[in-house]
Copies of this chain bind each other. A is one copy, B any other.
Amino acid sequence: MTCDQLPSPALLPPGFIDLLAADAQTEANGTQALLSVFASHGYERVAPPLLEFEDTLLGGAGAALADQAFRLMDPDTRRMMALRPDITPQIARIAATRLHDAPRPLRLSYAGQAVLVGNGTAGQNERQIGQAGIELIGPDSAQADAEVVAIAAEALARVGITDLSFDLTMPLLAPSLIEQAGLPAATVTALMHALDRKDAAAVAEHGGPIADVLIRLLNAAGEADQALAALQEVDLPEKTRAFSDRLRDSTAAIRARVPGCQVTVDPVEFRGWKYHTGVCVSVYALGSSEELGRGGRYLCNDDEPACGLTLRPNAVFRVAPRRAQPQRVYLPFGTDEAVGRTLRDKGHVTVAGLAPAGSEEEEARRLACSFVSRDGTLVPVN
Contact = CB atoms under 8 A, between A and B. Distances in A.
A237 interface: no
A21 B3 contact: no
Contacts of A7: 53, 55-56
A368 B74 CA distance: 39
A51 B16 contact: yes
A97 interface: yes
Interface in A77-124: 77, 79, 81, 83, 90, 93-94, 96-100, 103, 105, 107, 111-113, 115, 117-118, 120-122, 124
Residue of A16, A103, A301 most packed against chain B (CB within 10 A)? A16
Nearest to A74: B13
A103 B366 contact: yes
Contacts of A19: 45-48
Nearest to A122: B76
B41 A349 contact: yes
Nearest to A14: B76
Interface stretch (A137-145, A165-173, A186-194, A224-232): A137-145
B18 A94 contact: yes
A173 to B, nearest CB: 23
Nearest to A91: B18
B52 A354 contact: no
B128 A97 contact: no
A332 to B, nearest CB: 13
Nearest to A90: B18
A234 interface: no
Contacts of A98: 9, 18, 20
Contacts of A20: 44, 46, 94, 98-99
Contact of A56 (B11, B46, B51, B105): B11
Contacts of A18: 46-49, 90, 94, 98
A122 B111 CA distance: 29
Nearest to A37: B344
Nearest to A63: B1
Interface string A41-76: 110111111111101100110000000001010111
A231 to B, nearest CB: 25
Contact of A301 (B3, B12, B70): B3
A35 interface: yes
Contacts of A9: 93-94, 97-98
Contacts of A53: 7, 11-13
B8 A21 contact: no
Contacts of A81: 13
Nearest to A146: B354
Contacts of A83: 72, 83
